[in-house]
Amino acid sequence: MSEPFLIGDRMSGGYGKGPNILHDCTVAVEKGEIAVIVGPNGAGKSTAMKAVFGMLDVREGAVRLDGEDITHLSPQDRVAKGMAFVPQTSNIFTSMTVEENLEMGAFLRRDDISGTMEQVYTLFPILKDKRRQAAGELSGGQRQQVAVGRALMTQPRLLMLDEPTAGVSPIVMDELFDRIIEVARTGISILMVEQNARQALAIADKGYVLVQGANRYTDTGAALLADPEVRKSFLGG
């Protein structure tokens, strides 16, 4: 089997000089697919994502994007390589308008960004109506749309989302997941950490169940949902 588009291969590491949080952990995503990392609280889900993005020290293992070893690149350099990251909190510029948020997302680009901005507005029509409004005045779901929109402005090949549905209502959550599927259909790979494991696995091509910083189960989203072990331990029966 050929190598996935992005792979965090057998990563071990932790923050600063602290102990290892990840132990031999592997996450990967294929081109245009959705991979979801789930697991109990403190399982190292977000940490695994941050390791892939270069926000913590990967002491063993490697991160490869499109076959290229990027283990030692800074997060900024990874953005330039086509990775985009939406943090869980403080993921928008609250004092700036929606449009300015999108412009800042495209800060590294020197070409015309109006086309990409139009795509984002097509994906999230509500943002177009509110483009002159300060992003901090929007509702939780709309803020998440701004955050995802900002990340898409770099025209990334890989979009990483850290709990995009944290703190939004179930209706908004379904809506966000729909949009995420749409993004994946345009050929952008998506790596996502989710607290709402059941719904997230339902849209996932690939699922990773982490426990204490290590892989416990890895399979397609549908297979994990069907697995009685996984259901009993992690999905509440």
Partner 1 sequence: MVDVLNALVVLANFVVVPGIAYGSQLALGALGITLIYGILRFSNFAHGDTMAFAAGAVILVTWWMQAQGISIAPLPTALLALPFGIVATVLMLLFTDRYVYRFYRRVKAAPIIFVMASLGVMFILNGVVRFIIGPNDQRFADGERFIIRARDFKTLTGLDEGLAIKVSQGITVVTAVGVVIALFWFLNRTRTGKSMRAYSDNEDLALLSGINPERVVLIVWIIVGILATVAGTLYGLDKTYKPFTFFQLLLPMFAAAIVGGLGNPLGAIAGGFVISFSEVTVTYAFKRVVTYLVPEAWAPDSLVQLLSTDYKFAVSFSILIIVLLFRPTGIFKGQSL
Residue type, 149: G
Judge contact between 136 and 94, C-beta under 8 A: yes
By CB under 8 A, what part of segment 79-98 binds partner 1?
Answer: 79-80, 85, 87, 90-96
Of 154 and 165, the one with the shorter C-beta distance to partner 1 is: 154
The number of residues that bind partner 1 (CB under 8 A) is: 21
Please identify which residue in 59, 69, 108, 129 interacts with partner 1, judged by CB under 8 A.
108
Q: Does 117 bind partner 1 (CB under 8 A)?
A: no
Residues in the chain, total: 237
Name the one range near partner 1 by CB under 8 A: 22-30, 43-51, 102-110, 220-228: 102-110
- Minimum CB distance to partner 1, residue 38 (Å): 24
By CB under 8 A, what part of segment 59-78 binds partner 1?
Answer: 75-76
Of 80 and 181, the one with the shorter C-beta distance to partner 1 is: 80
- Minimum CB distance to partner 1, residue 103 (Å): 6
Q: Does 140 bind partner 1 (CB under 8 A)?
A: no
- Could you list the residues that contact partner 1 (CB under 8 A)? 75-76, 79-80, 85, 87, 90-96, 100, 103-105, 107-108, 150, 154
